[in-house]
Amino acid sequence: MVFLTMNRPETINPPVVDACCSEESRPQPAERPRLVRQALALEWITIAWMVIEAAVAIGAGVAAGSITLLAFGIDSLIELASAGVLIWRLTVELRHGQAFSENAERLASRIGGGLLFALAAYVIASAAWRLWTQQGGEFSAAGLAVALLAMPIMYALAKRKLALADKLGSRALRADAVESITCGWLSFVVVIGLIAQLLVGAWWIDAATSLAIVWFLVKEGREAWQGEACGCD
């Protein structure tokens, strides 16, 4: 699967982690609006896909009685909210310039961090509930299809968002990219859980695996919450 080439949470260390905007990657003032427009286009693509993903995952989850698919669908709604925040932040910069976007960047970064914390809490709660109830729900072909499609789509979006976050020095965009990475890994978890459920009835696999990414969500959420706009003025 193409998504398997994506960096794992424990190994993902793009340049933006320690130095959001290096001297080499810092854009020229005339180039920055073009990069902002590219980031804005990515967010609109994210919204378009997340509407489809959320509708299919939640619908399939309700039909199959699957908490895994419902969790996946709710994650898609969180991604929608994050993309909406980023569209606001990037639009502020395009209309008023980089100096006016600093406050929007700080607020968007904190909102992105808060959404990552919320997602971590939901993953823990849904995994605990699945383990407690010992119910895996029914297999869903529609849920499997949307999860399979989400992996390469999230890989492509996250890779480009991280590159632009580095060049723009935007922790808010980085937090949004991390949510795309998380969505991709959660889709992988959904695929494994549905296949295991279909083949061997291993209802507990997706719950146990989803807990492995919680530390990553908390780490990146704290960085987004505490971080400033990376100082790449």
Position 65 scores a pLDDT of 77
Position 230 scores a pLDDT of 44
d(CA 2, CA 19): 28
Work out the pLDDT band at 102, boundaries 50, 70, 90. low
3-state secondary structure of 82: helix
Position 43 scores a pLDDT of 94
Q: How many whole angstroms from its chain centre is CA 36? A: 19
List the one residue out of 170, 218, 212 whose CA is nearest residue 35. 170
> Which range has the worst mean pLDDT, 3-17, 147-161, 188-202?
3-17
Mean pLDDT of 205-214: 74
- CATH H superfamily, domain 31-226: Cation efflux protein transmembrane domain (1.20.1510.10)
**What does each C-alpha distance from 128 to 72, 112, 121, 142, 168 come to in angstroms?**
15, 24, 11, 25, 38
Position 26 scores a pLDDT of 56
CB contact burial 190-205 (16+ within 10 A = b; e otherwise): bbbbbebbeeeeebeb
Position 21 scores a pLDDT of 47
Q: How many whole angstroms from its chain centre is CA 63? A: 25
Position 97 scores a pLDDT of 65
Tens digits of per-residue pLDDT, 117-171? 988 888 888 888 878 877 666 788 999 999 999 999 999 999 999 999 999 888 8
- Helix axis angle, 171-199 to 101-133, nearest 10°: 20
Q: Is pLDDT above 80 for 39? A: yes
Q: Is 2 in contact with 151 (CB distance < 8 Å)?
A: yes
How much of the chain, in percent, has pLDDT values that exceed 70?
78
Tokens of 15: 């340049």
Q: Which residues contact 141 (CB under 8 A, 6 or more apart)?
A: none
Work out the pLDDT band at 84, boundaries 50, 70, 90. confident
Q: Is pLDDT above 70 for 176? A: yes
Q: What is the mean pLDDT of the chain?
A: 78
Q: Is pLDDT above 70 for 18? A: no
